[in-house]
């Protein structure tokens, strides 16, 4: 039996500890390293990649995706990633980092956003489901041995998001054509999918104060359309919405635009369902038949 000197034993212990620490690092744990620029893209990457990926979200919890600034470490991480999932023209800092760092692979979600000036495509669950397939394809190219696993997870996610879409269609069947007044015009894709008429008090930029003319216009629309509720965002100041609602004698309620994850215990699907409940409670909707169709007017 070979004996080790105390000095050699100590050296081996140090080496073992160093190896263990190195193995815990993202580059050495066998998982694909994915960078997502904001929460819905993180959600897709995690659900499709499962335990084969480690996902870093560049946008902090309760942060605004629009004005993201990157740290040097985040910029470097983009260059080291196996895959970056981002949306061009939404976060200039991310666009610049992707161009400069040239990651191994990138999926740009921007083609799924086709409403003029409105990037919030992820509020339409079917559009986000399509992104899952693209992420699966690229992950499969990076790790061919797990390609079928990625495809299966993407299909499960599509099935789940299709079910959420059906819940919206059934739940808002009596609300078709209803006016949806929001503090920030972030819900255009939701409105388009489910036949609502969105009116944004502050337009597309949540940081811009609405002009007096815009407030007067929103007030007039609310009166003429029989609006009952003014909606404001979960991570934004409710002041403008509450002021307008007070002036008109209306209620206020919260909608989450899902630019970031406000509550880590509630995922994308949970937030969409909470938004649906808020819309059902707050919109001026007609009753529906047992088949989910709007009932005839009395």
Residue 206: the pLDDT is: 67
Q: What pLDDT score does 4 carry?
A: 42
How much is the pTM? 0.86
* Each residue's pLDDT expressed in tens, for the chain with a length of 298 residues: 444 444 434 433 333 333 333 322 344 689 999 999 999 999 999 999 999 999 999 999 988 888 899 999 999 999 999 999 999 999 999 999 999 999 999 999 999 999 999 999 999 999 999 999 999 999 999 999 999 999 999 999 999 999 999 999 999 999 999 999 999 899 999 999 999 999 999 877 666 788 889 899 999 999 999 999 999 988 777 888 999 999 999 999 999 999 999 999 999 999 999 999 999 999 988 876 556 566 554 3
Residue 298: both structure tokens together: 């009395």
Looking at the domain covering 28-168, what would its CATH class be?
A: alpha beta
Check residue 78 and give its pLDDT. Answer: 98
Per-residue model confidence (pLDDT) at position 57: 98
pLDDT of residue 263: 92
Are 56 and 36 contacting, i.e. CB atoms less than 8 angstroms apart? yes
**Confidence (pLDDT) at 280:** 96
Q: Which residue has the tokens 């620490």?
A: 21
Output the CA torsion sign for 255, 260, 265, 270: positive
Helices (H), the chain: 6-23, 39-49, 72-80, 92-101, 125-142, 147-171, 188-194, 212-225, 239-248, 268-282
Query: CATH 3.40.50.1980 occupies which residues in the chain?
Result: 28-168, 172-282
Q: What is the pLDDT of residue 136?
A: 98
Which residue bears the tokens 């997870």?
A: 153
Q: Which residues contact 297 (CB under 8 A, 6 or more apart)?
A: 286
Greatest pairwise CA separation for the chain in angstroms: 95
The CATH architecture to which 172-282 belongs is: 3-Layer(aba) Sandwich (3.40)
């Amino acid at each position: 039996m070979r004996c080790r000197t105390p000095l050699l034993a100590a050296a081996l212990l140090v080496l073992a500890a160093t190896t263990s620490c190195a193995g815990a690092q993202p580059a050495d744990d066998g998982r694909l390293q994915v960078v997502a620029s904001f929460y819905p893209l993180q959600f897709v990457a995690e659900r499709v990649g499962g335990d084969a990926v480690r996902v870093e979200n560049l946008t902090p919890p309760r942060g605004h995706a629009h004005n993201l600034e990157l740290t040097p470490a985040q910029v470097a991480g983009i260059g080291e990633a196996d895959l970056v999932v981002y949306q061009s023209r939404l976060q200039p800092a991310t666009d610049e980092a992707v161009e400069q760092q040239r990651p191994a692979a990138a999926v740009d979600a921007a083609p799924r956003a086709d409403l003029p000036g409105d990037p919030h495509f992820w509020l339409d669950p079917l559009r986000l489901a399509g992104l899952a397939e693209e992420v699966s394809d690229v992950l499969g190219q990076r790790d061919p041995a797990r390609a079928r696993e990625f495809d299966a997870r993407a299909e499960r996610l599509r099935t789940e998001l299709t079910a959420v879409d059906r819940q919206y269609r059934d739940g808002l069947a009596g609300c078709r054509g209803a006016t949806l007044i929001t503090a920030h015009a972030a819900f255009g894709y939701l409105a388009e999918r489910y036949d609502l008429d969105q009116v944004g008090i502050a337009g597309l930029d949540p940081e811009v104060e609405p002009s007096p003319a815009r407030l007067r216009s929103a007030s007039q629309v609310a009166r003429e359309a029989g609006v009952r509720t003014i909606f404001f965002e979960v991570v934004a100041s409710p002041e403008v919405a509450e002021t307008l609602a007070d002036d008109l004698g209306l209620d206020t309620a919260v909608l989450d635009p899902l630019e970031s994850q406000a509550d880590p215990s509630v995922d994308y699907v949970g937030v969409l369902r909470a938004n649906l409940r808020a819309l059902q409670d707050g919109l001026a909707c007609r009753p529906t038949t047992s088949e989910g169709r709007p009932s005839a007017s009395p």
